[in-house]
Amino acid sequence: MEFRKNSAVSFDGYQRRVVVDPANCAVSATYDYILNDPRFEGITPFENKIWLSSPTMHGDEQKWVDEAIQTNWVSTVGANINEVERITAEMTGSKYAVALSAGTAALHLGIKLCAEKLYGQPKAGHGSLEGKKVFASDMTFDATVNPIAYEGGEAVFIDTEYDTWNMDPTALEKAFELYPEVRLIVVAHLYGTPGKIDEIKAIADKHNALIVEDAAESFCATYKGKQTGTFGDVGVLSWNGNKIITGSSGGMLLTDSEEWANKARKWSTQSREDAAWYQHEELGYNYRMSNIVAGVVRGQLPYTMEHVAQKKAIYERYKEGLKGLPVKMNPFDSETSEPNCWLSCLLIDEEAMAPFVRGEKESLYRSEPGKSSPTEILDALAAINAEGRPIWKPMHMQPIYRSNPFITAHGSGRARSNAYISENGAVDVGADIFNRGICLPSDNKITPEQQDIIIDVIQRCFR
């Protein structure tokens, strides 16, 4: 393989245009060569970038931020925080909502609340999950599972099912066969699609396990009419910049326990005891939401369902526009679930996959008539100034978690082959969806005309 400045890399027939910076030999991909491919003739890149999912402000945010500044409540206390907690509890049907600096902070405190209930409070300097395993969603963003490691625990990743792209209850049941001592499950609802939470809850109850439910991406998505984030012992929402509504950052911890809500508020404000001086009897964190951030969230909350409706329309337009191609949209169970359609995704049919390879950070592909690959489609989108993403890479494939157990519906997903016996054909569902899927530009400000161009470009990838 030979690198030259702004030249195509040729690797056994696989093509990808790269730029090599002569100063430090850093290699980066460029996409403009796509537009010289006859398949994309007549396509002009968007002047303004089409984002995967970006903030959409409405004006009320400014009002509440200004009020906080004018009244000098520029702190981690104030009316905006109180209102955001009240409205979020009301909208979700959770008894209590605790406003925090991020969804990750809510996951950390939620996991710690469960861990201390199960195993007691550790000494300062020790994690509440030391020596303990926790079952966790595998195909998710790493923020779902990292707090298990913050607390010294070991995540055991549970494979994904094809019906909703979330935790597979069959694999979860298998995991309890292998590790019956486990008492905590962290489960996410990916891309705004509710997972099989009833089945997961029934398995948890059978094994006397607690649930932390990561609804960071699924605010206002419902399962059997009930809000995601309210099925677990603790639920988590995120208001980061790419979510269905945003505060620029921020997150919420949902619980029906007054004691846990008060504990989370205490831990999030450095665990001060009721004394005139700084008195501490347990470890604290600086995790409370700021009243300025809460002002943005307060302004956004009334527009949530408007954003959800826009996201649903985007999903439906993709579904209609991509009909006839060998692809499927990210699925949901219409009998039980109302997704918020936060991200629209597609999955290429197996027989329509063109060859492509991924390393740890780079990817090469080959074009073939009638076929395409995630890398080709993402490069084509990048070439027209639109942002797509690979599917969230499953946790069991991440270098940091490569030695953690991974359980599929058929048992351990690690070390499955045998040099002397052919493999049993068990599928690693997460790896398969990661291999064949992509997240499509799903910004709620995208126009139908812009979406038509994106759909056209995807269709051309398969020519």
Ligand X SMILES: Cc1ncc(COP(=O)(O)O)c(C=O)c1O
Q: Binding pattern to ligand X, positions 304-333, x when CB under 6 A? A: ------------------------------
User: What one-character-per-residue DSSP string does 306-341 give?
Assistant: HHHHHHHHHHHHHHHHTTTSSEEEPP--TTTEE---
| 102 touches ligand X (CB under 6 A) | yes
> Contacts with ligand X in 196-225 (CB under 6 A)?
214, 216-217
Choice from 251, 299, 374, 441 touching ligand X (CB under 6 A)? 251
Closest alpha carbon to 188 in 128, 143, 244: 143
C-alpha–C-alpha distance, residues 253 and 123, integer Å: 24
The piece of 35-43, 138-146, 263-271, 413-421 that touches ligand X (CB under 6 A) is 138-146
DSSP 8-state symbol, 47 = S
Shortest Cβ distance from residue 167 to ligand X (Å)? 12
Is 446 strand, coil or helix?
A: coil
Joined tokens for residue 226: 């009930």
C-alpha–C-alpha distance, residues 171 and 183, integer Å: 16
| 240 touches ligand X (CB under 6 A) | yes
Shortest Cβ distance from residue 216 to ligand X (Å)? 4
The piece of 11-19, 25-33, 137-145, 348-356 that touches ligand X (CB under 6 A) is 137-145
Choice from 52, 188, 220, 327 touching ligand X (CB under 6 A)? 188
C-alpha–C-alpha distance, residues 220 and 306, integer Å: 11
Q: Which is nearer to ligand X, 241 or 302 (CB)?
A: 241
| 140 touches ligand X (CB under 6 A) | yes
- Can you point out the beta strands (E) in 240-361? 251-255, 327-329, 337-338, 345-348, 356-358
Shortest Cβ distance from residue 380 to ligand X (Å)? 25
Choice from 115, 143, 289, 458 touching ligand X (CB under 6 A)? 143
Strand ranges across the sheet with 437-439: 327-329, 345-348, 437-439, 389-390
Q: Which is nearer to ligand X, 238 or 375 (CB)?
A: 238
Tokens 């409070």, residue located: 121
| 238 touches ligand X (CB under 6 A) | yes
Choice from 40, 141, 267, 406 touching ligand X (CB under 6 A)? 141
C-alpha–C-alpha distance, residues 453 and 419, integer Å: 49
Radius of gyration over every alpha carbon of the chain, rounded to an integer in angstroms = 23
| 363 touches ligand X (CB under 6 A) | no
| 339 touches ligand X (CB under 6 A) | no
Question: Rule CB under 6 A: which residues touch ligand X?
Answer: 102-104, 140-141, 143-144, 188, 214, 216-217, 238, 240, 251
